[in-house]
Structure 1
Amino acid sequence: MHVRTLATAVAAAAAALVVFPVPAHAAPVTPGGDAGVPPSAPVTVTLTLTGADESSMTAYAAQASSPGTGNYGHHLTRVQARTRFGAPADRVERVSRWAHRAGFSVVGLDATGSRLTVTGTARQARAAFGVTLRTQVRDGVRVRTATAVPKPPAAVRADVAAVSGLTTRAAKPLVARPAVPKPMLEGPYCSAFWGEYTKAGLPSKYPANRQSNILCGYNGAQLRALYGLGPNDRGQGQTVVVVGAFHNPSALADANRAFAENGVPPLPADRFAVKSYNLPGGATGCDQDLWHVEQALDIQAVHTIAPDARIVYAAAPDCTQLEETVAAVIADNAIDTTIVSASWGIIGEPADVPYLTATNNILARAAILGIGVYAASGDTGDNSSVSGANGPSVLFPASSPWTTAVGGTSSAVGPNNQVMFQTGWASAGNRLAGGGWQRLNPAFVGGAGGGPSHHFDKPSWQSGLPGERRVVPDISALADPFTGLHIGYTSGGQYRTGPVGGTSLAAPIVASLTAVAQSRAGGVVVGHAAPVMYAKAAAGRPIVTDVRHIDAGIWTPGINASTPTGDYLLDLDAGVQTLKTGPGYDRVTGLGVPGPGYLTELVS
């Protein structure tokens, strides 16, 4: 095994063009793409049943996650949770009988005792729930939409908390890649560490230690140094589940090839598993290639941080079944995990109350089981610059009060693996023009998502923050693709390498650091981690390190697919939207980045 050198990094980067996509659209509807669903078309519906005591269920989930309460850390098994908070047998029987009479086939009740799956046709769904189903192409993906809020008949309405699955929506992988052409003729364009190279002959904007050429992509030792990991911090005995869409058959081989380049031990086949569930798929328009990059990034980030942990990749059949896959993982007795990483999201928080109710219900049950869900906060800042946006917004499921929302940083690691600085990922671009740097229009290049939810009230553990709504993110980690992680993946039949980031990188970093912390504590489980972070901070024992604004810049020959090759300078943490890093909590980095106390005090 050899550690990647600058020469090999440049050669690898020259082999492929990696692209940081233009910011995603806010799911525009393609003209002429609206069509009715044929009456005989199959549908799969999830009926979230009302538990024996719903208010007690959410109260217990909050108590089990909140230090200082009598039930803190008292997580239940699936059998215990189902017995205590699942739907009563008579309720399950009553709804099942109704579903049969309505022409549906009852697939079964999940292991949490809360989700009854039924299958039927669009005609049966229309008659049962009073909706018409249509298909639309949104952001390139054909999805199905119910024309009204689906409601079961009065006979079982009190038994069903939510009807979901009739409307589908496409999740976006939150992976970001800089547009990097072949190395320029005058020499290497990328730096193996911060500041190794700064392109000569350009006007200076920042001091020498605050400006660098784009990073070639950090290797394993550099990423581990960023979070203070020692040689024995390996995540022994832990299982991290990564939820994504599709599965690349070469994912393990690609990972081990990249690990050899990055000085990371290989991932044995017996510590990597792929799970799939019997979920409806077939949505057209999902960017399967980008999801393969996402899978590669997640697996390689987790294994770099926690090389002894077991990794389970839970593969949704397409990009519209991510939440259903999370629900399947939470209900899966065969997966012994307490950590789920979700590097995807839906921009703008859907205003679909049944969908939000169903998803939050299963996420609350995850908290009862001691399963922490780490959700990426997004890569387009406050989302105000995306096409079709109606002001700032946040992503779901990161905005759920039952997930730990992970924002992002731009991070500088020096020649001896020392951390030179970290600041919020909120970059603005400049192009060389007339002998000086001229701001691009629009200026925003990329940045971590953050801000208040439009739907969820502030949870009690965020009581110290201003406002009345749930605010994201909670914590942050490396995300800027221009200071990203060097990874390898197969695309179009060709193995490619390069620096990759996005909050898709930050979420598995925090998830795998949690695995290391739990392993250090002898396997003690933290569960839903966000309330613990705020409680520790309020008690004057923070386990995260506050991130401050740093004036710094990165030279790059390209930014995204819409910009031609040239000389560009990225201003870090530029604050050109409503988000900028500041002292204490901020909406780019949350409480900060995992500090030394994260490994020692998270599960104390």
Structure 2
Amino acid sequence: MRTPMNPKARRTTLALTAATGLAIAGLGLGTQTATAAVGSAHHKVTFTRSCAVPQHAGYLACNALRVTGGTTVRTRLAHPAAAPRSAAGRADGSVSGYGPADIQSAYNLASPAAANGAGETVAIVDAQDDPNAEADLAAYRSQFGLPACGSDNGCFSKVDENGGTNYPSPDSGWAGEISLDLDMVSATCPNCNILLVEANSASTEDLGTAVNQAVALGAKFVSNSYGGSESADEVSADSSYYDHPGVAITASAGDSAYGVEYPAASPYVTAVGGTSLTQDSSARGWSESVWGTSASEGTGSGCSAYEAKPSWQTDSGCGNRTVADVSAVADPATGVAVYDTYGASGWQVYGGTSASSPIIASVYALAGAPGANTTPAADAYAADPSALNDVTSGSNGDCGSYLCTAGPGYDGPTGLGTPNGTAAFSG
């Protein structure tokens, strides 16, 4: 059963620390290196953060990582002859990065029972405008043979944070994030409608206002691929922006290894960690480990400094809210294919927990609308363990406990595990 929540009326602005106080290692934009198992070999890739470091208090950064070099997995296009060429394109009709068939196979979403989502709307909340969002989405879906999803057939819509068309100024970094988010919803739930809500800025207030707008427009599934350092003010921000009973709200756990970000720390959201995803010869056909490349690169996790422990979370090594709840692919070295032309040249490969958050939001959509007055984040904790792929290897730091090291059952970096169908995401 889903857990009831008590709505709070107070609205306030979260005051996060300034960039100089962001205690998240590696949040800069410089190119970094990751190594992960791809097939039977190890491949080194370089990547860069898509969004700039916040320069003022109360601003957040997206958790998208764009691959800039190295060898990643490849996926076959449905219509290779028409594929636009880019650095990620291949002459053999494939592109680098996992595609929809891979995501659906890895997470057991391709069965008729799971491949629905028709009539459900997944909302994506990001900052700034991507002028090419609809066109790039159409290109991605066409190349992978997915149903058309545009404004003309009512499948795709884009609004500003107030629900209108006074879009914010464009930003190429956030445009990459937007393309990643839209493509991951498409890959995971091809029949879902998509609502893109663009916040006026990357401030907590604007992004939170966009979350509220998404819910006001009827979305029951809202993905947030951004975060920043915790602050004592976040508890009041919870009630202002993220306390929406009966709405599945997901948030990225972060890309800077062990440590907790907000809003992933909020007890009203499903905190989504990241894995390295590898195709293999097992019965499942896939294996996963914690995405943790170095002390400053990997999925976020840990024990919140400010948020009380929700009743449905029972791990004993953290008296407060523990991050994460569940997880999905996020390692740039086992990254996903994305199509982006605003500041980019078409096919790209992305990683980061910005990939895992919209994947999980879309799995919730496949499972169906949450019940009224419930906390969807609690669903996985009440589910049969077989409804999740338990991730038992890897770490994202040296904390000395399950908060940064995977093992059987719950752990911080991957939560309860990754989706094995949709059963763990319905009340």
> TM-score higher than 0.5 here?
yes
Find out whether 1:350 has 2:234 as its counterpart.
no
User: What's the offset of the Cα at 1:576?
Assistant: 5.0
Q: Is the 8 Å Cα contact of residues 230 and 260 (structure 2) preserved in structure 1?
A: yes
Query: Quick one: distance in 1 between partners of 2:283 and 2:123?
Result: 29
SS in 2 for 1:399: coil
Equivalent residues in 2 for 1:368-517 (5 A)? 370-382=246-258, 393-414=259-280, 419-428=285-294, 444=295, 446-492=297-343, 494-517=344-367
User: What's the offset of the Cα at 1:409?
Assistant: 0.6
Cα distance change of structure 1 residues 224 and 425 upon mapping to structure 2, 3 Å threshold: same
Which one of the candidate residues 223, 227, 234 is aligned to 1:341?
A: 223
Find out whether 1:169 has 2:58 as its counterpart.
yes
Find out whether 1:543 has 2:393 as its counterpart.
no
Query: Quick one: distance in 2 between partners of 1:484 and 1:309?
Result: 22
Find out whether 1:586 has 2:411 as its counterpart.
yes
- The corresponding residue for 2:157 is 273
Q: Is the 8 Å Cα contact of residues 175 and 505 (structure 1) preserved in structure 2?
A: yes
- The corresponding residue for 1:359 is 237
Query: Quick one: distance in 1 between partners of 2:67 and 2:379?
Result: 35
Q: Is the 8 Å Cα contact of residues 239 and 312 (structure 1) preserved in structure 2?
A: yes
Which one of the candidate residues 67, 73, 80 is aligned to 1:178?
A: 67
Cα distance change of structure 1 residues 323 and 533 upon mapping to structure 2, 3 Å threshold: farther
| Structure with greater proportional helix content | 1
SS in 1 for 2:363: helix
Residue identity opposite 1:518 in structure 2: G
Query: Quick one: distance in 2 between partners of 1:394 and 1:290?
Result: 23
- The corresponding residue for 2:28 is none
Q: Where in structure 2 are there 5+ consecutive unaligned residues?
A: 22-51, 76-94
Q: Is the 8 Å Cα contact of residues 271 and 309 (structure 1) preserved in structure 2?
A: yes
SS in 1 for 2:368: helix
For residues 183-209 of structure 1, the C-alpha deviation after alignment (integer angstroms, 9 at most, x for no partner) is xxxxxx54427xxxxxxxxxxxxxxxx
Residue identity opposite 1:401 in structure 2: P
Residue identity opposite 1:404 in structure 2: T
Which one of the candidate residues 312, 324, 342 is aligned to 2:195?
A: 312
Which one of the candidate residues 98, 103, 107 is aligned to 1:223?
A: 103
Q: Is the 8 Å Cα contact of residues 123 and 214 (structure 2) preserved in structure 1?
A: no
User: What's the offset of the Cα at 1:574?
Assistant: 5.6
- The corresponding residue for 1:518 is 368
User: What's the offset of the Cα at 1:457?
Assistant: 2.4
Cα distance change of structure 1 residues 136 and 588 upon mapping to structure 2, 3 Å threshold: closer
Q: Is the 8 Å Cα contact of residues 254 and 495 (structure 1) preserved in structure 2?
A: no
User: What's the offset of the Cα at 1:394?
Assistant: 0.9
Of structures 1 and 2, the one with the larger relative CO (CA 8 A, separation 6+) is 2
Which one of the candidate residues 526, 529, 549 is aligned to 2:376?
A: 529
User: RMSD between aligned alpha carbons?
Assistant: 3.3
For residues 405-462 of structure 1, the C-alpha deviation after alignment (integer angstroms, 9 at most, x for no partner) is 000110012599963311111124xxxxxxxxxxxxxxx4621100011112222211
Identity %: 28
Residue identity opposite 1:349 in structure 2: E
Cα distance change of structure 1 residues 574 and 416 upon mapping to structure 2, 3 Å threshold: closer
Residue identity opposite 1:463 in structure 2: T
Query: Quick one: distance in 1 between partners of 2:354 and 2:310?
Result: 25
Give the number of aligned pairs. 363
Q: Is the 8 Å Cα contact of residues 426 and 580 (structure 1) preserved in structure 2?
A: no
Query: Quick one: distance in 1 between partners of 2:138 and 2:144?
Result: 10
User: What's the offset of the Cα at 1:584?
Assistant: 1.4
SS in 1 for 2:140: helix
Cα distance change of structure 1 residues 246 and 415 upon mapping to structure 2, 3 Å threshold: farther
Query: Quick one: distance in 2 between partners of 1:245 and 1:417?
Result: 41
Find out whether 1:600 has 2:423 as its counterpart.
yes
Query: Quick one: distance in 2 between partners of 1:273 and 1:225?
Result: 28
For residues 51-95 of structure 1, the C-alpha deviation after alignment (integer angstroms, 9 at most, x for no partner) is xxxxxxxxxxxxx942xxxxx5xx99xxxx7xxx65xxxxxxxxx
Q: Is the 8 Å Cα contact of residues 363 and 402 (structure 1) preserved in structure 2?
A: no
For residues 292-339 of structure 1, the C-alpha deviation after alignment (integer angstroms, 9 at most, x for no partner) is 10000000100111112111111011112x444434543667511111
For residues 520-550 of structure 1, the C-alpha deviation after alignment (integer angstroms, 9 at most, x for no partner) is xxx75695322222233xxx5553221121x
Q: Where in structure 1 are there 5+ consecutive unaligned residues?
A: 1-63, 67-71, 87-113, 118-134, 144-167, 182-188, 194-214, 383-392, 429-443, 550-572
Query: Quick one: distance in 1 between partners of 2:59 and 2:2?
Result: 30
Query: Quick one: distance in 1 between partners of 2:170 and 2:202?
Result: 8
Cα distance change of structure 1 residues 535 and 141 upon mapping to structure 2, 3 Å threshold: closer
SS in 1 for 2:272: strand
For residues 458-491 of structure 1, the C-alpha deviation after alignment (integer angstroms, 9 at most, x for no partner) is 2221124322121100100011111111111014
Cα distance change of structure 1 residues 332 and 534 upon mapping to structure 2, 3 Å threshold: closer
Find out whether 1:302 has 2:189 as its counterpart.
no
Q: Is the 8 Å Cα contact of residues 424 and 547 (structure 1) preserved in structure 2?
A: yes
